[in-house]
Structure 1
Amino acid sequence: MADAGKLIFAMAGPSAAIERLRPYIIDVMGRSIIDMGEDVRKSSLLKISGNIFVIGFQELTAEAQVFAEKTGLGTRQMEQFISDMYGPVIESYSKRMTTGAYAPPLGTPPGFAVSLAAKDAGYAIKIAEKHGTRVPTIETALARMEAARKFAGESLDSSSIYGSARLEAGLPFWNENSRQSN
């Protein structure tokens, strides 16, 4: 993402310092800078918030794909709907599930390791609780990530939420495209 200049920078600190850095970021490593003000903790909060979206979208996508499998709708048709309706980001999460990339071949690093996603989900849950709120979708996703890790180990992508959702629905953890089915 940095090589393509597509990162989003959440920067905190003196405005003058952020402005001095702008030419080295925009159209070089990043496409935008979100000015978080002087409180540097807010940058970390925004990063965790971004992962709430990533993990939450993966959770919803896993549920929709398992629904499609169990009802006979079909994952191919669901994936086309996801692509047409919600665009390439959510489609990419769906493809990680339907292509079996949620469990990449052993020795192949995952896109977003389940251990890192679980860590960030745990942070989000704790921060929300500290501030008197909840993130129930992330709570469900974390439980499914932990179940996936228990079932298949650490060599999983965060989208392995899908494997756990499949198990809960009476389907095998592995789909026909994952490493264990080949």
Structure 2
Amino acid sequence: MANNLLQSTAHTSTIPFSRPPTPGAHPLQIGFCGLGAMGYFMARNLANSFKSQLPPLLVYNRTVAKSQKLLTELGASAVKVADTLDQLVRECDVVFTNLGNDAVVTSIYNEFAKALAQSPPTKVKIFVEMSTCVKRFSATNGTMNKSAIGDLNRLLSSHPHVRFITSPIFGPPPAADKGMLIIAMSGDCRSKKEVAFLLVPAVGRKVIDLGENVEKAPTLKLIGNGMIMSINELLAETLTLGEKSGIGQQTVYDLVKEIMPAPILVAYGHKMVNDLFDGSVGFSIDGGVKDASHVRRLSAELNCPMPAVDNTHRGLITARAIHQAQVAAGTQQWDILDWSALIASSRVAAGLNPFDSKKGTGVVRED
């Protein structure tokens, strides 16, 4: 990658690799597949960061309107819309994917494999999977289970010059918007160099290198997500106890900000206290259930109990069930529920309104 594409010295400590060598005469063509709540911001930041140095970012999304929205926002000098996945594969040197669930990831990468078979690449192509996709299934011989990520790696690596990198990210949509994500990465070292110097500081502020085993980065992602969701469950229970005791959830939240001002606690506590449960601008509760299910499956496979995650899964399922009942009755406030709404489970168990703090039945504490 040319020197003018590398970040300044201030960012070198955030990338655990030496600078990649300068390529040939042709600048890299980057592609991005999946413009959801996270992907849209990441694609936008990539396109903005390199619009004067690389060809326009080639984007693909099943809902074409999202691709057109990005094109309208940044202009043709920064973004080009791909008509098909085949075009994305044929034209791009590096393809990033950020997709909603395992089924979509599997479907997209099968299409990638078909395109590679029809047009075998003559130079290196790097595919970078950034979703939380590590669906695992039991092996018949009782040995350690395989993962979908390993299958994807084998699927793509069967084609010449193709490299596969896993690069899940940590952070909510606002962090993606600001380019402040934490990026885990595993796979071929040479390819990671190219990818890391594209992503930092355009998309994230730090890369954590997990080595060449492509399953390591997604595993760290699950471990991190398990911690985050468990903290949110504890926060929800604590705020609910504060409300029910007559102290008030706002007072408890103010205490949290004073003694444990972690960004995650502050951000999700703000959502819970103010009933900001619109999942269209956050992380959907379906995504939370998916991630919790992944963590529980991993913990079961490794005989490593995580009761906090089990309880979080229960809270997410309960909140989703309450919301779906409201949808069926036509009384829902939000079409998509944010995963911070897991506090609904604690509230209902305590006799409070699930999604509206102002309609609670908290006990007024007497001194």
TM-score (norm 1): 0.88
Paired with 2:344 and 2:314, the residues of 1 have a C-alpha distance of 12
Deviation at 1:110, TM superposition (A): 4.6
Deviation at 1:17, TM superposition (A): 2.5
Q: Is the 8 A contact 2:341 2:355 kept in 1?
A: no
C-alpha distance 94-122 of structure 1, shift in aligned 2 (>3 A): same
Question: Does 2:121 align with 1:121?
Answer: no
Task: Give the stretch that moved more between structures: 148-157 or 163-172.
Answer: 148-157
Aligned to 1:165: 346
SS in 2 for 1:32: strand
What is the correspondence of 1:95-106 to structure 2 with a 5 Å cutoff?
Answer: 95-102=270-277, 104=278
Question: Does 2:193 align with 1:19?
Answer: yes
Question: Does 2:266 align with 1:91?
Answer: yes
TM-score (norm 2): 0.45
C-alpha distance 177-32 of structure 1, shift in aligned 2 (>3 A): farther
> Deviating runs (4+, > 3 A) in structure 1?
none
Paired with 1:30 and 1:167, the residues of 2 have a C-alpha distance of 38
State the one-letter code of the partner of 1:158. Answer: W
> Where is the helix percentage greater, Structure 1 or Structure 2?
1
Question: Does 2:326 align with 1:152?
Answer: no
Question: Does 2:305 align with 1:134?
Answer: yes
Deviation at 1:177, TM superposition (A): 5.6
Paired with 1:163 and 1:140, the residues of 2 have a C-alpha distance of 13
State the one-letter code of the partner of 1:47. Answer: K
Paired with 1:96 and 1:171, the residues of 2 have a C-alpha distance of 17
SS in 1 for 2:182: strand
State the one-letter code of the partner of 1:39. Answer: N
Deviation at 1:56, TM superposition (A): 1.0
Q: Is the 8 A contact 1:62 1:165 kept in 2?
A: yes
C-alpha distance 22-150 of structure 1, shift in aligned 2 (>3 A): closer
Q: Is the 8 A contact 1:98 1:175 kept in 2?
A: no
What is the correspondence of 1:50-61 to structure 2 with a 5 Å cutoff?
Answer: 50-61=224-235
Deviation at 1:7, TM superposition (A): 1.4
C-alpha distance 73-100 of structure 1, shift in aligned 2 (>3 A): same
SS in 1 for 2:320: helix
Aligned to 1:49: 223
Aligned to 2:238: 64
Deviation at 1:174, TM superposition (A): 2.5
Task: Give the stretch that moved more between structures: 21-30 or 117-126.
Answer: 21-30
Q: Deviations over 1:91-123 (max 9, x none)?
A: 111111111113x3xxx6151100110011011
SS in 2 for 1:10: strand
Deviation at 1:161, TM superposition (A): 1.3
Deviation at 1:5, TM superposition (A): 2.3
SS in 1 for 2:184: strand
Aligned to 2:184: 10
SS in 2 for 1:9: strand
Q: Which runs of 5+ in 2 are unaligned?
A: 1-174, 325-334, 360-367
Aligned to 2:24: none
State the one-letter code of the partner of 2:185. Answer: M
Aligned to 2:84: none
Give the CA RMSD over aligned residues.
1.8
Question: Does 2:248 align with 1:74?
Answer: yes
C-alpha distance 90-114 of structure 1, shift in aligned 2 (>3 A): same
Query: In the comparison of the two structures, how many residue pairs are matched?
Result: 174
State the one-letter code of the partner of 1:109. Answer: S
